Amino acid sequence: MKNRLKVLRAERDWSQADLADRLEVSRQTINALETGKYDPSLPLAFRIARLFGQPIETIFDDGQA
Amino acid sequence: MDGKPTNPAQKRYLARFIPTMAVYVAAIFTVSWVFNRYEPGGPLAWGLALLPALPLLAIIAIMGLYLREEGDEFVRNILVESMLWGVGLTLSIMTVWGFLEIYAEAPRLPSFWAFPIFCFGMGLAQPFIKRRYR
């Protein structure tokens, strides 16, 4: 699924490791999310949305809208 | 999982795994020695033969505990996928070899090998699964 994680992360000047720490996941997880090859569970998607202070649907795009 | 442990669940896994494997190795050597020296029979032989199996059963439980405790869902996902590959490899080899034993007089493959084959398949699959997500 496409997402804006990389952009949001860059806006805050965070490295993948920074974001990994804030979400309490590994750096490889961040990488898999950013490439759109791994879709997060709903709980992790909510954690990401809260961290960036944006609704889930502005961060993730399932291509249906 | 590979490399050094990076989170508490992985550290706990190793803290359980390493001593249990040490117990397993000790049990193998002890039981082999007892069988060579005393050639026990009957119920005693059954009891002794089960001893090395117990730490391996514990290893299975330890793997299950790690799966439950691992908080990183992506890491967990990779592990579960690699376990499925391990299961697939084990069932395939046991099925094929089983028929070879029945019809073609292939040498007997001890069922003990199921677990090592599972672990081998799981370990082999992991780098390939990880590469898919890069």
Q: Structural domain of residue A14, as residue ranges?
A: 2-58
Whether A31 sits inside 8 A of B132 (CB atoms) is no
| Three-class DSSP category at A1 | coil
For B27-59, write each residue's pLDDT tens digit.
999 999 999 999 999 999 999 999 999 999 999
Predicted confidence (pLDDT) at residue B3 exceeds the cutoff of 70 = no
Whether B74 sits inside 8 A of A35 (CB atoms) is no
Question: What does the pLDDT average to over B90-94?
Answer: 98
Of A38, A40, A41, the CB nearest to B133: A38
pLDDT of residue B64: 96
- Secondary structure (H, E, C), chain B: CCCCCCCHHHHHHHHHHHHHHHHHHHHHHHHHHHHHHHCCCHHHHHHHHHCCHHHHHHHHHHHHHHHHHCCCHHHHHHHHHHHHHHHHHHHHHHHHHHHHHHHHCCCCCCHHHHHHHHHHHHHHHHHHHHHHCC
pLDDT of residue B60: 96
Chain B residues inside the 8 Å CB shell of A20:
none
Chain B residues in contact with chain A using a Cβ-Cβ cutoff of 8 Å: 6-7, 71-75, 77, 130, 132-134
Distance CA A29, CA B134 (A): 10
Chain B residues inside the 8 Å CB shell of A26:
6-7, 72, 74-75
**High-pLDDT (> 70) share of chain B, %:** 96
Question: What does the pLDDT average to over B96-116?
Answer: 96
Q: Which one is predicted more confidently, B2 or A49?
A: A49
Of the candidates B65, B116, B63, which has an alpha carbon nearest to the alpha carbon of residue B86? B116
Residue A15 domain-assigned (yes or no): yes
Domain segments of chain B: what residues? Answer: 1-71, 72-134
pLDDT of residue B1: 46
Of A28, A31, A41, the CB nearest to B73: A41
For A1-21, write each residue's pLDDT tens digit.
899 999 999 999 999 999 999
Question: What does the pLDDT average to over B67-95?
Answer: 97
Handedness of CA B114, B116, B117, B121 (dihedral sign): positive
Residue A64 domain-assigned (yes or no): no
Domain count across chain A? 1
Residue A36 domain-assigned (yes or no): yes
pLDDT of residue B130: 93
Residue A29 domain-assigned (yes or no): yes
**CATH code of A54's domain:** 1.10.260.40
- What's chain B's average pLDDT? 94
Residue A48 domain-assigned (yes or no): yes
